[in-house]
Structure 1
C-alpha cells in the first residue's frame, strides 16, 4: 500500500500508481496531452441581464468563445449543435438563449398585463436527455443559477414516468422549462398532446443533451420521436417552430448527425466544434496488470476466468441480444452453449490469456488496489467499471484495503451504479462534489453529463467499447482547466491487450461517428402509427418522415394497421399506438429488489437480467452489504431479499440456442447457401453455483426452475459445407476459429452497408447447426422483430463478404486484432480465432459467388 503526503499534481499521482517504481513494469505507455489556454469573449448583447448576473455570481465572469458562438446561433433561430469536450460548459450555450427567451416573454407580460395574449404566449423550453439522473442534475444546476439570478419567477420542473399525476398537471399548466427524456415524450407527452397544448404552442427551444448517446436503433427511434414533436409543435404553434440546440461529445461530423436526428438538411444546422475552454495537461497511462505468481491466489488477485466480478455487464441480459451480442462460437444442437455470470461481454470459462500458464491479475482487482493507494494519497478519483457488480466489488475491496491503513478512509469510498434509488444517487453525487467521498467506483452511469468536477484521477477498468465513451470518461479528470490523470487498465482480453500495447489505436485514431437510420422501415412503421394516432397524417407531412414513407404507409394500410381516407391516414384501433414499440428495445418492467423484513426497496434490476442476478438463492450486494434472495416473483416484478453476512458468492449458468423459424429468402452459390429469415435466440438460466470467497472453492450447485427467454428476430446466415472447408484447407480442429473470426469481422463491416451500429447486431458461428446441418455463420438483429440490418446483409452478401475478407487480409497484425477479427463484445472472450483460416474460408466461399455480384 502506497503511503505518503496528500498529492494532486499528475506526476506525483502517476508515481502513486507506480508505487515508487514497484509497479512500473505494468505501465505500457504514457501519453501527455498538452494543456490548452481558454479564450473568453464578452456576453452577447441580447443576453438577459439577470441571467448573466446569475452566471457571474456563480463564478462565470465571461463565456468561452464556443459558448457564445453556439448561443448566438441558437438565438438567431438556427438549429445548433455544440460538440466539445467534457467539462467545456456546453450547458451555458443552450440555457443562455433559452432562459433569455422565456425571461423576455415574462417581461412582456409584466409590461402589458392587460393583454391576455401576452400571458398565453409566454415561451417554454423542453430539455431532453438520455437519463433521468441527468435531468435531475440539470434541475439542481438550473435552480442554483436562477437563485443566483434572482429569477425565481421562471418555473422549472422535471417530468418523467415517475412524476405523480398531481405534479404532472402542474407542469402541464405552469412550467416554463420542462426537463424530461425521449421515453416520456413517446409514451406520454405526444400521445396526450392535448393536455400539453400550452407547452407545445409556446415552445421556443428544444434542448437535446448528450445527443451522441442516441445511436443505433435507439437513435433511430429518438429521431422519429423528435419528428413527431416537431409536427405537433407546428400544429399548435404559429411561427416557424422551435429552435433545436443539441449538445454532444466530440464525434465525427456532428452537423450531419444532428441533422439526421432532427430530420433537416445538414446546411440548416450550425456546428460549433472548436473548444475554447481551458484544459490542463492530461496524462494518460495505459496499464496492464501483472502476471500472477501462482494459480492459488485469492479471488482479489484472480485472473479473469475466476474473478467473480469481471464479467457482468451491469444489468444486461446474460446473452445480451438486445444491444447486440456475440455469444461466440457454439456447438451443434441449434447452437446451444452454456455461459456463466451475468453478462455476455466475456465468458469466465474461456478467457484468453497471453500465456495460459501465466494468467494475469484481473482489471477489477488491480483497480481496487490503485484506487486504495490514490485515496491514501489524498486524490479524488472515479473508477469506471464495466458492470454494476464490478462497481460494488471495487468499492468493497478498496474499503478492505483502506481499513488496514485507516478505518476512516474506508468511509470515503463508495459504489455508484444504475439500479440505486434516485435519492441514493443524488446523495452520492453530492458527497463526491463536496469532498465527503474521495472516490467512487461507478458504471458508465457517470459517463454522461452529471456535473462532477474537481477530480484528480479517472481509472477505467477495461476498454469501454468506443473512443467516444473513452474520452467522455477520461474527461472527468482535471475538469475546469486543472491537470488530470487517466489510466486505462487492461482486462485479460486480446482487445484490451492490443490497445495498451498499441497506443496509436487510441491516440492517433479519430472518434467514431454517431450512426443511426431513421428511414429503417422496422423502426419507422410503428412511429407512423403513433403519429397517425396523435393527428391524422396528411400527404404534405410525409416528407418529414423520409422519402419512402408513402410506400410504407401503403403496407400499413394493407395490413390493417392504418386506414386511408381522402384527408389522410388514420389510426382507428383502441390500443395505444405508442405501445407498438419501445425506444430502448428492452421488454418488461424493472424488477424491484425489496428487503423482506422491512419492505424497504433497495433498488431495481433490469427485467432481462433478473433471472441471472436475483434468482432464488442469489447473493445481491448493495453498497457493500450482502443480501440473499428469498423469492423472485416474475409476475409482480419483485425480488424479496434478506440481509445476511455470507462468505460466498453466486454465479448463474445458462444455455443459449439459435433456431431458424422461417426462411424468408434463400439463394445458392453452388454448395454455399445464403438464407434470410426469422430466428429464435433463446436463453434459459438453468442453475447457479455457490463459491467460497476468497479461494473460489465450489460449495455446491443448485438447479433453478426459471422460464426460457426468447428473442424473435431476423438473421442472415451462410453455410460452409464440408467441401468448401476442404477447399479452404480447414480441418475440423481449426473450423470453429475460422468461422468465429469471419463472424466477428462481418459484424464489424455490416454497419458500413446497413447504416447501423455494431452494437445493434449479434452473431453466432457453429461448426454444425442442426437446422442447416452444416457449418454456419449467423448475424442477427439485436432487437425484437428485427430492424432490417440482417436483411441488408443478405441483399449485399457478396459485397459484404468481400469487404470482410479485405479487412482481415489487409490488417498488418499477425494473428488477429481489434482492427480485424477481435470483437469488443465477444461472449467467448475472443477465443478461438483463426485469422489466416478465416481468410482462406472467405476466399473459398466467395469463389462460388455468381459472376457480377
Structure 2
C-alpha cells in the first residue's frame, strides 16, 4: 500500500493536485466463539471459507436474529453483516423447525413449520451477488437440503414456480414483493406462512419518498405473514447510516425499543487513506475528455437550464433550475436517488473555474486509472452518469494503449442499461482479477462483494457523506489496506469540500429520513393492503393511522375516490375498479418503460435505457457507446432504437435541451407586504431540441444539428414566492447580483425544508428566475420531485414563516464568507452552483422574514388530501 500512497503523492505533487491526504489507521479484529445453537455443518463451511471465528458484532447480531428480534446492523463495508442473518436462518432451516426447540423462548426455531426467509435488496445485482455467495457457503457446508432462489422481474415463470413451491430463502427486491408476491399471496402462501426473517439490505438507500414506499411494502408483507400465522423478525443491514435503529423502526412500523441496534464494528481494518484531489490545470494538460468551452454551449437536462448566467444580455432572464431526483437509472429494479441528476453531464462538459481553469474530473480520473493499473492496483472509479462511465473507461484505455498496451482490455465500464447476463459476466471478471479497473455508476456502490480492491476513485462528490464512505469503503476490504481518492468536479461545491477536509471528515453521516405517513404515499398502499386482506381497525396502527387525519384519508378513499368500500368489519378494495390496487403507485416514482437498443444488422438487443432519458441518449444521430463499441443511432420508433456500427466516426454527440416551469393553479395565496406566497400545481417542461457533434479526443465542436422531439412534461406541486418592486428595493440587491441572490436563497430554502416536512433533500427541486414570464417578478419555486406531488412543498407553504426564518438563520450564522455546502451550495445543482450570492440571499431572506413579522395574521392553510 505504501507504493500506491507514494504514487499518489508523486503524481499529486504536480500542480498541487493532492490537496489533502487523510490516514485512517488500522484496527485489529475482535472475535467471539460460535453460538452453541449454530449448525455444526454450517460452522464447518464458514471455516472452510476462511472464517475461523466470527467477529463480535456478527455474534451479537446473529443472537438477536436467532431470538426472533428486530435488528439493525450498521457496521462498515466488508464487515460481514450477512453472516448475522445467514447463520441463524440457515441453522433454523437445517433443523427443520418442525420439532426443534431453541434455547430461547423467542427463537426463530419456534415455528411449527419449516422456516423461510425473504431477502430484499435495492438492486438486482446485489440480490444475485448475495445468491452467489450464499450458494458458495452452502456448497462449502455440504448442505444440499437448503434451497435458495432469486426472483425478480427477469425471472422466468418456471423458476418463479419453483421458488414458490420449494425455496427456503428467496432473494428479491421490494418492487417484486409489491407487484408480484403480495398480489399473488395465495400462490406464495408456503413461503409467507413459514416466514421467519425479512432482510432489508442496504437500508440506508431507502430515503425520502422511496424509503416511505419501501417501509409500507415491508409493513404490508408483515401483515400478510402474521395473518398466515408467521411472526417474522426484520433485519435491516446498513453500512453507513446515522440513527440506524430509528430508521429500522420506521421501516418496520414499531418503536425503537423493539429494535436491537448493533453498530460496534469489530471487523479488522487495514491502513486506509482518503485523498482529496483537484484536477490539473487545463492549460497545461488540455481538456482531455472534457471541453473547456464556454458555459453557454453546455447541455442541460429536463428541469435544468444552462448555467449561462442569471441574465441573458439583450434577452429575458434565464431561469436557474435545480432538478429533482428523477433521472438516470443506474441499476435495476429502480432508480436509486440520483446524486446530481441535473448535473450528470456537466463533468463531461466543462472544466472547473477557480483561480485557474482545470480539466474535468473525468479526464483526471481516467489518467489516475492509467497510473494505478500498471502498478497492479485493482481499482473502481465511481462516476455520476452512464455516459460518464463509458467515457472514463474509453479514455483510460487510450492512455494505457500508449504506455501499457497489454493492459488495455483490463479496463471496463459497468452501468445500468446492460443486459443482465452482461452485468453478471462483468462482475465475475472483476472478482477474478481479469478486469483490473472498472468505471461504474452507483450500480456497484450497494454491497456487491468485490474483495481485494486496492483503490477507489470518486469522480466528483457523490452527494452525501454516506455515499462517499460507502464508495470509499470498497477499497481495502476484509482488513486489507486501501486508498480512496475524491476528485473534485467542476462544481464549486466539490472545490470547497476538497479544500476544507473538516467538511468531509469532521461531520457525521446523514440520517435516513422518510415519512410513511405521508398521505400521498400512504393512500395507494392502503388500497393495496385492502386488496390483499380487508383492512381492520387493528391494522391501522401498523400504517401510522392514529389520528383524525388518517381517518380522513380513509374516508377520502371511500367517499371521494370510490377505491375502497367501508363495511362493519373494515375497509375492502372495490373489485369493480378497472386497475389493480398495486398499480396505483410506483416505488420508483415513474412507470415509463425501457427503450431497447437493437443492432440493425443482427437484431441483437444490446441494452436498454429509461424512456425518460432516451431523448438525450438515443435520439436519431446520437453516438452511443457500449463497452467501448461506438454505435450510431439510426432511428428510434416507440420503444426501440436501431443502431449501426459507428467505429469509423471521428466524433461523439451531446444532446442540448431547454426547460421551463409553468404555474397551473394557485390553490392558496398569502400576501405579506411586498411578498406573495403561493402554492399549487406546477408543470415542468423539458425538450431536447438539438445535439452537438464534437471531435475526440480534443473535444472541439464540429457541428450542431436540430432535433424535432416531443416535449416532456412533469406535473407536480410547488410553492413559490415573488417580490414586488418595493420589497426588491428594500433588499438593496443590485440587478447584476439578483440572479445569484435568488439562486442562493433557493438552495438554502431547499436545504431547510426537510426540517419542516419529513422528506429528504433529494425529494425536492426548485427554480429561481429574475422575472418569471407568468409572475413578471423575481420568483423562487420549490417543488416536489414526484408526479402529483408528495406533500412537501405544500408543507413549506403552510409553515412559510418558520421556514424562511430558519433559512435566514442558517445562512446568516454560517461562518463561511461566500457560501458553502452548509448554507447556499447544493450537491444537486443543475447549474454547477453558479451564480451564487450569499450576501444577496441574506438580504432577500431578511425582507421575507421582515414581511412575515409585520403580517403575522396571514391566513393559516391546511393542505388538501388530493387525488391519487
TM-score normalized with structure 2 length: 0.91
- Of 175, 179, 187, 2:179 maps to 187
- Verify: 1:599 aligned to 2:641, yes or no: no
CA distances 1:367-414 after superposition (whole Å, capped 9, x unpaired): 111110111111111111111111111111111111112321111111
- The answer as to whether partners of 1:327 and 1:826 remain within 8 angstroms in 2 is no
Distance 2:303 2:148 in 1: 41
| Structure 2 match to 1:61 | 52
Query: Cα 1:776–1:64, aligned 2, differ >3 Å: closer, same or farther?
Result: same
| Structure 1 match to 2:132 | 140
Pairing 1:494-643 to 2, within 5 Å after superposition: 494-546=492-544, 547=546, 548-559=549-560, 560-572=562-574, 573-634=577-638, 637-643=639-645
Distance 1:339 1:743 in 2: 9
- Verify: 1:41 aligned to 2:25, yes or no: no
- The answer as to whether partners of 1:337 and 1:656 remain within 8 angstroms in 2 is no
| Structure 2 match to 1:359 | 357
Q: Which moved more, 1:416-425 or 1:776-785?
A: 416-425
Pairing 1:688-837 to 2, within 5 Å after superposition: 688-837=691-840
Query: Cα 1:797–1:298, aligned 2, differ >3 Å: closer, same or farther?
Result: closer
Distance 1:307 1:19 in 2: 36
Distance 2:404 2:682 in 1: 56
Q: Which runs of 5+ in 2 are unaligned?
A: 101-109, 329-340, 859-868
Matched residue count: 823
Distance 2:743 2:290 in 1: 30
Q: SS state of the match for residue 780, structure 1?
A: strand
- The answer as to whether partners of 1:329 and 1:764 remain within 8 angstroms in 2 is no
Q: SS state of the match for residue 667, structure 2?
A: strand
- The answer as to whether partners of 1:333 and 1:769 remain within 8 angstroms in 2 is no
Pairing 1:76-225 to 2, within 5 Å after superposition: 76-105=67-96, 108=99, 121-225=113-217
Q: How big is the shift at 1:31? A: 0.6
CA distances 1:587-634 after superposition (whole Å, capped 9, x unpaired): 311111111111111111112111111111111001111001111122
Query: Cα 1:852–1:350, aligned 2, differ >3 Å: closer, same or farther?
Result: farther
Query: Cα 1:330–1:589, aligned 2, differ >3 Å: closer, same or farther?
Result: farther
Distance 2:311 2:126 in 1: 40
CA distances 1:616-663 after superposition (whole Å, capped 9, x unpaired): 1111001111001111122xx111111111111111111111111111
Query: Cα 1:264–1:335, aligned 2, differ >3 Å: closer, same or farther?
Result: farther
CA distances 1:731-770 after superposition (whole Å, capped 9, x unpaired): 2211111110000000000011101000000000011112
- Verify: 1:445 aligned to 2:443, yes or no: yes
Q: SS state of the match for residue 289, structure 2?
A: helix
Distance 2:40 2:809 in 1: 60
- Of 843, 846, 850, 1:843 maps to 846
- The answer as to whether partners of 1:328 and 1:740 remain within 8 angstroms in 2 is no
- The answer as to whether partners of 2:289 and 2:698 remain within 8 angstroms in 1 is no
Distance 1:52 1:107 in 2: 22
Q: How big is the shift at 1:301? A: 6.2
Query: Cα 1:716–1:680, aligned 2, differ >3 Å: closer, same or farther?
Result: same
- The answer as to whether partners of 2:98 and 2:114 remain within 8 angstroms in 1 is no
| Structure 1 match to 2:861 | none
Distance 1:740 1:431 in 2: 46
| Structure 1 match to 2:332 | none
Query: Cα 1:450–1:329, aligned 2, differ >3 Å: closer, same or farther?
Result: farther
Distance 2:617 2:12 in 1: 40
CA distances 1:656-693 after superposition (whole Å, capped 9, x unpaired): 11111111111110221111110111111111121222
Distance 1:771 1:567 in 2: 51
Q: How big is the shift at 1:484? A: 0.7
CA distances 1:551-572 after superposition (whole Å, capped 9, x unpaired): 2101111211211111211111
Q: SS state of the match for residue 404, structure 1?
A: helix
Q: How big is the shift at 1:329? A: 5.7
Distance 1:408 1:746 in 2: 52
- The answer as to whether partners of 2:291 and 2:350 remain within 8 angstroms in 1 is no
Q: How big is the shift at 1:14? A: 2.0
Q: SS state of the match for residue 756, structure 2?
A: helix
Q: SS state of the match for residue 12, structure 1?
A: helix
| Structure 1 match to 2:283 | 293
CA distances 1:130-152 after superposition (whole Å, capped 9, x unpaired): 00100000110011011111111
Query: Cα 1:852–1:283, aligned 2, differ >3 Å: closer, same or farther?
Result: farther
Q: SS state of the match for residue 32, structure 1?
A: strand
Q: SS state of the match for residue 663, structure 1?
A: coil
Distance 1:231 1:459 in 2: 43
Q: How big is the shift at 1:22? A: 5.2
Query: Cα 1:438–1:513, aligned 2, differ >3 Å: closer, same or farther?
Result: same
CA distances 1:210-265 after superposition (whole Å, capped 9, x unpaired): 1110111000000000111011001112x5x1011110123111000100011010
RMSD (Å), alpha carbons: 2.6
Distance 2:445 2:174 in 1: 19
| Structure 2 match to 1:647 | 650
Q: How big is the shift at 1:723? A: 1.3
Distance 2:148 2:704 in 1: 53
Q: SS state of the match for residue 186, structure 2?
A: helix
Pairing 1:409-448 to 2, within 5 Å after superposition: 409-448=407-446
Q: Which moved more, 1:346-355 or 1:782-791?
A: 346-355
Distance 2:295 2:167 in 1: 53
Q: How big is the shift at 1:23? A: 2.4
Q: Which moved more, 1:128-137 or 1:642-651?
A: 642-651
Q: How big is the shift at 1:346? A: 6.3
CA distances 1:488-525 after superposition (whole Å, capped 9, x unpaired): 11112210100011000011100000000000000000
Q: Which moved more, 1:12-21 or 1:670-679?
A: 12-21
CA distances 1:514-563 after superposition (whole Å, capped 9, x unpaired): 00000000000010111111111111211110124322101111211211
Pairing 1:202-351 to 2, within 5 Å after superposition: 202-237=194-229, 239=230, 241-293=231-283, 297-300=286-289, 302-303=291-292, 318-319=302-303, 344-345=342-343, 348=346
Q: SS state of the match for residue 846, structure 1?
A: helix
| Structure 2 match to 1:113 | none
Q: Which moved more, 1:689-698 or 1:562-571?
A: 689-698
Query: Cα 1:155–1:422, aligned 2, differ >3 Å: closer, same or farther?
Result: same
- Of 48, 61, 74, 2:65 maps to 74
Q: Which runs of 5+ in 1 are unaligned?
A: 1-8, 110-117
| Structure 1 match to 2:103 | none
Query: Cα 1:852–1:87, aligned 2, differ >3 Å: closer, same or farther?
Result: farther
Query: Cα 1:171–1:420, aligned 2, differ >3 Å: closer, same or farther?
Result: same
